Amino acid sequence: MSEDADGARRRETAAQAVDPCVTSSMVVAAFWEEASGAGIDPQAGYEAVLDQVQAVREGALAGPEAMLAGQAIALNAIFAEMARRGQAALGRPGIAAERYLRLAIRAQAQCRATLRALSDMANRPTKEVEAPRPITRIERIIVQPRGHDGPSGMRTGEAGPADDWAARNAEREDYGEGLDGGAARGLCADDAGAPGVGAFDRTPYG
């Protein structure tokens, strides 16, 4: 076998190992054979699981609803049986009664959670509306100018053009408040009329 064919076979095996439809069908087949004594063809089991997944993708949730309803019924049966065994073990030595009753309570709680999930699925909204993304404080500072009127005549709360940040930064530079060193440039400029605290006196000593 060539290296290309061997690599393709390894990739195919890895893809099957991480495919949820493949792994689910294997688990179903193993438990079904143990319970009924009849085996399931791997390809047929895979296609059955894939059909269920495709139906859910298309919005048909009859299968999952039936699954949850069946699980709730089974859990209720487990609760009743464990409660019966716990009651029968009451008054006897050991902790069998406590263990049975604990299992009954756990089955009851899981049954209630399953019914809640079934109710949520039945009452799901017809169309999910995506909530708007909250505006961060930094975005609010950048987009909304301070005061009633912005530097370009905008009212507070109105989004400015894409280059509005650069325009406001340029105006701050005129007062020595720019973010790119405007204040430092005003302090160190040779021009006596430069903004800031004025130019340095560079008269030589002596």
User: Residue 183: is its pLDDT beyond 80?
Assistant: no
The stretch 11-21 carries a mean pLDDT of 88
DSSP string computed for the chain: --HHHHHHHHHHHHHHHH-HHHHHHHHHHHHHHHHHS----HHHHHHHHHHHHHHHHTT--HHHHHHHHHHHHHHHHHHHHHHHHHHHHTTSSSSHHHHHHHHHHHHHHHHHHHHHHHHHHHT--SSPPPPPPPPPHHHHHHHSPSSSB-TTSPBTT----TTHHHHHHHHHHHTT--TTTHHHHHHH-S-TTSSSS-----PPP-
Q: Which residue has the higher pLDDT, 173 or 46?
A: 46
The answer, yes or no, to whether residue 2 has pLDDT greater than 60, is yes
**Full residue range of the structural domain in which residue 147 is found:** 137-174
- At residue 106, φ and ψ (nearest 5 deg) are -65, -40
- The pLDDT tens digits for 133-149 are 677 766 666 655 555 45
**Whole-number pLDDT of residue 144:** 56
Rounded distance, CA 115 to CA 92, Å? 35
Q: Which of 122, 25, 21 is nearest to 68 (CA)?
A: 122
What pLDDT, on the 0 to 100 scale, is given for residue 6? 83
Claim to verify: residue 14 and residue 111 sit in the same structural domain = yes
Check whether residue 83 and residue 13 sit in a common domain: yes
pTM (2 d.p.) = 0.52
Same-domain check for residues 50 and 143: no
Question: What is the model's pLDDT at position 39?
Answer: 85
pLDDT given for residue 191 in this prediction:
46
Residues 107 and 29 in one domain: yes
**Residue-level pLDDT at 72:** 96
* pLDDT range class, residue 110, cuts 50, 70, 90: very high
Residue 185's pLDDT is what?
Answer: 46
How many domains are contained in the chain?
2
Residue 197's pLDDT band (cuts 50, 70, 90): very low
86/156 same-domain check: no
pLDDT at 121: 86
Please report whether residue 203 resides in a domain: no
Q: What is the pLDDT of residues 76-94, one digit of tens each?
A: 999 999 999 999 999 898 8
Same domain, 43 and 88: yes
**Residue 11 placed within a domain:** yes
Closest CA to 122 of 206, 39, 50, 61: 61
Pair (81, 104) in one structural domain: yes
Q: Indicate the range of 100-104, 157-161, 179-183 predicted with least confidence.
A: 179-183
